[in-house]
């Protein structure tokens, strides 16, 4: 079973473990996705055995296995219906995502994390090939508003509440993170943006796969020896507004700490690159906050019924002298993994 999303985040976690070997000090976790070329237009057929009911094989036993094949838009509708997320709440979340992303882009916040790409495109009007430099996310809509969103029809279900405006955009993108032993990074004089402190991957009901962060985040935070209140910033992937809204409500998160520079509804969600993109956005924002921000979390849902989350400590916080605040005596987070 292919795991949608989360692939680059899991790759990064494996790279994080990689440098622990004596002769392994550096690794790169990267991912790329062209959603405009490789669109998800269909799903595998269910194994006939899963659909057969008999005295020794009950269809109900395999309900969740079948739910792994549900279209992602339907899982969004399931979340909205099961947990009472309204159309209005979803529209508000989408507008906030675009407004925050637009403000971040206008202030130049994304320049430190975006590598301009020089390429050629075919002009849709003249059909002539021309050279362009891609240096900004072109899905951001600064003028997004509730009035226009309210006019959109449901995208996945006739009487549903999920629209194109409250879904992550179909986008192309690539992302990469460099992980290295602190001692080597210091030797090379490289800036240490953050330290990976914990990682968690969990399983949830595939029919509502979008709720994955509600389980993964507490698991990762607990693994780090922290409480949710210790986390200063969150980057939660906005696969759909329904699941994003629910996750924030379920975990009782402060809106001013979550996706402060917008999310996937504005920036796009190229599956293989989203994890690295979220990490880059989080770490750069933590750096801007300085001593007011010590810990951050990246999390996302994963198609087929999973969730993933990781806890990061701001890079220069490994030195006790610059910690934003003290933690309990039994907490080992400030010990460098040399």
Q: Residue 64 burial (CB < 10 Å; 0-12/13-18/19+)?
A: middle
Give the separation between CA 16 and CA 308, rounded to whole angstroms: 15
Give the separation between CA 77 and CA 231, rounded to whole angstroms: 29
Give the separation between CA 299 and CA 296, rounded to whole angstroms: 10
Question: What residues are paired with 4 via a beta bridge?
Answer: 303
Give the separation between CA 264 and CA 175, rounded to whole angstroms: 14
Backbone angles phi, psi at 53, to 5 degrees: -115, 130
Q: What is the pLDDT along the chain (338 residues), one digit of tens a residue?
A: 344 455 555 555 554 544 455 567 899 988 988 877 766 555 556 555 555 544 444 545 567 666 677 789 999 999 999 999 999 999 999 999 999 999 999 999 999 999 999 999 888 889 899 999 989 888 999 999 999 999 999 999 999 999 999 999 888 899 999 999 888 988 999 989 999 999 999 999 999 999 999 999 999 999 999 999 999 999 999 999 999 999 999 999 999 999 999 999 999 888 888 999 999 999 999 999 998 999 999 999 998 899 999 999 998 775 543 333 344 444 444 444 33
Question: pTM above 0.85?
Answer: no
Backbone angles phi, psi at 117, to 5 degrees: -115, 125
Confidence at residue 23, expressed as pLDDT on a 0 to 100 scale: 62
Which residues, at least 6 apart from 286, have a Cβ–Cβ distance to it below 8 Å? 193, 194, 232, 233, 293, 296, 312, 314
Q: Residue 293 burial (CB < 10 Å; 0-12/13-18/19+)?
A: buried
Confidence at residue 20, expressed as pLDDT on a 0 to 100 scale: 52
Rg (CA), the chain: 21
* Cβ atoms within 10 Å of 22's Cβ, excluding its own: 6
Pick from 299, 318, 302, 301: nearest CA to 310: 299
Ordered domains of the chain (ranges, CATH): 7-38+71-110+142-322 (3.40.47.10)
The two structure tokens encoding residue 304: 């087929």
Exposure string over 34-50, b if 16+ CB within 10 A, otherwise e: ebeeeeeeeeeeeeeee
Report strand pairing: 306-314 vs 295-302: antiparallel
Confidence at residue 324, expressed as pLDDT on a 0 to 100 scale: 37
> What value, to the nearest 5°, has the Cα angle with vertex 329 and ends 324 and 332?
75
Give the separation between CA 297 and CA 320, rounded to whole angstroms: 21
CA-to-CA dists, residue 126 to 108, 131, 325, 333, angstroms: 32, 14, 59, 57
The two structure tokens encoding residue 72: 């992602």
């Amino acid at each position: 079973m292919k795991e949608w999303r989360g692939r680059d985040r899991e790759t990064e976690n494996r790279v994080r473990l990689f440098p622990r070997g004596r002769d392994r000090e550096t690794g790169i976790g990267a991912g790329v996705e062209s959603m405009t070329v490789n669109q998800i237009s269909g799903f595998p057929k269910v194994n006939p055995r899963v659909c057969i009911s008999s005295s020794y094989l009950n269809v109900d036993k395999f309900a969740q296995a079948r739910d792994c094949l549900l279209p992602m838009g339907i899982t969004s509708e399931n979340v909205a219906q099961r947990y009472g997320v309204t159309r209005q709440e979803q529209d508000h979340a989408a507008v906030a995502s675009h407004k925050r992303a637009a403000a971040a882009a206008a202030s130049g916040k994304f320049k430190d994390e975006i590598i301009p790409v020089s390429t050629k495109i075919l002009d849709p009007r003249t059909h002539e090939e021309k050279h362009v430099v891609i240096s900004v996310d072109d899905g951001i809509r600064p003028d997004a508003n509730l009035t226009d969103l309210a006019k959109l029809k449901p995208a996945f279900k006739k009487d549903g509440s999920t629209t194109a405006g409250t879904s992550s955009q179909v986008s192309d993108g690539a992302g990469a993170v460099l992980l290295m032993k602190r001692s080597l990074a210091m030797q090379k004089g490289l800036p240490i943006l953050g330290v990976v402190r914990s990682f968690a991957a969990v399983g949830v009901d595939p029919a509502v796969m979008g709720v994955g962060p509600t389980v993964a985040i507490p698991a990762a935070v607990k693994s780090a020896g922290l409480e949710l209140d210790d986390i200063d910033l969150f980057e939660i992937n906005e696969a759909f507004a329904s699941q994003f809204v629910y996750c924030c409500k379920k975990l009782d998160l402060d809106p001013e700490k979550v996706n402060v520079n917008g999310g996937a509804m504005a920036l796009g969600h190229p599956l293989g690159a989203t994890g690295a993109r979220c990490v880059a956005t989080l770490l750069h924002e933590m750096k801007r906050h300085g001593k007011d921000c010590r810990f951050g979390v990246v999390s996302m849902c994963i198609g087929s019924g999973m969730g993933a989350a990781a806890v990061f400590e701001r890079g220069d916080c490994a030195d006790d002298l610059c910690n934003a605040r003290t933690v309990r005596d039994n907490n080992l987070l400030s010990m460098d993994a040399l």
